[in-house]
Amino acid sequence: MVRDPRAFWTVELLNTRDLQQAAAGPPATPSGSSASSANAAGEHFITISDGHFVDGCERFYFTGWNQWEAVESGAGAPHLYGSVLPINVTAPQMLRQLMQSAASQGLLVMRTWADAVDSQYALETSPGKYNEAIFRGLDYVLVLALTTNWGDTGSVDQYVSWSGTAQQHSDFFSDANCQALYKSFVKMVLTRVNSINGRTYSEDPTIMAWNLINEPRCYQCAAAVKSWVTMMAAYVKSLDPNHLVSIGDEGFYTSGTAATNINPAGGWAIQQGQDYQKFCQIANIDYCTLHLWPDNWDDVNLTFQKNWIIKHAQDALAIGKPAMLEEYGKQIVGGNNVRNQFYNAILSEVYNQHLGRWLAGNRV
């Protein structure tokens, strides 16, 4: 199993129709077209109603996948960090083929990041300086992830190193300069006019939702993370009232809550700065998120994994918001049958809990 350690501000791109349109290749630069004309053609922003995702007037149930290196692929990178381009196939062609395959299998949502994996293709090269060629790759993909806890490029540690005042990883959530740098990046992305279709990102219904940060970790500082999420969710909504906003957290329960027994074994999860129940209750967070990586978390017990999904679904229901299992995966240890047992159990529980919405993690 390979997990992307560099997931930034994440976004969910939606809809098989849109995937197929994107897979067909970049359309000609529009003449007189706009987001309003697209909406008139029947596209809708995904919304929340009575604790459910809604597309137009219908409930929206979906499956999907996580995709890394989409931005650099869209930009035409000649080499990729975690994969090898087929002979005589360019990165954009491979991305189109991948999206065509996904659409043909009924996958409706792709989650990726608003920056590159490889630092040589960084979108933001220094504070406030952006690589237009990579931004055009992002235009091509139309799915984003804002920042990440992991890695170097566009990550928490990148902002800490740029801030001039933050000293360590945990300072990211409270340091004023880090907050200003993050907001600057968010504003640049949300107000970006797509070079291919002429739409402002904040007005493009192809985008389903924004994740604020993939898997935030802050040792024993859940209050600081919650304060940061509250601030940044409100900031995103002030610039983009059209799209859903979520966090992108793993869904750990913090100390002092009755649900800590639901965490992975070993007691480490309560110290990671996440508080699933309180995070879900933040006003500008539209839906709850959870991940499930039993091997990485050193808890491969199927009972834990089922209870993890059940408890998170129950909490989201009590709060009145939908929940998304947006990452999961299992190593191939003991053969495919062992991994398939995990997948069957997890997806059955997702179905039983009426989550009806999940995204596969990166798998090898």
Catalytic residue annotation = 215, 327
- Helical H segments across the chain, by residue range: 16-23, 35-40, 70-74, 91-104, 132-141, 156-163, 176-190, 222-239, 276-280, 302-319, 336-352
Q: Which amino acid is at 11?
A: V
Kindly give the pairing relationship between strand 207-211 and strand 244-246.
parallel
First to last CA, the chain: 5
Please tell me the distance from the alpha carbon of residue 216 to that of residue 39, in angstroms, as a whole number. Answer: 34
The one-letter amino acid code at 132 reads E
Tokens of 176: 């004023």
Q: Is the dihedral of CA 234, 240, 242, 246 positive or negative?
A: negative
Return the residue matching tokens 């994969």.
83
Bridging pattern class, strands 9-14 and 207-211: antiparallel
Gyration radius (Cα) of the chain, Å: 19
DSSP, residue by residue, 181-219: HHHHHHHHHHTPBPTTT--BGGG-TTEEEEES-BS---T
Count how many Cα atoms sit within 13 Å of the Cα of residue 131 in the half-sphere of its side chain: 20
Of 14, 122, 111, 110, the residue nearest 77 (C-alpha): 122
* SS3 assignment, position 140: helix
Do 110 and 13 touch, CB atoms closer than 8 A? Answer: yes
CA distance 93 to 75: 11
The DSSP call for residue 155 is B
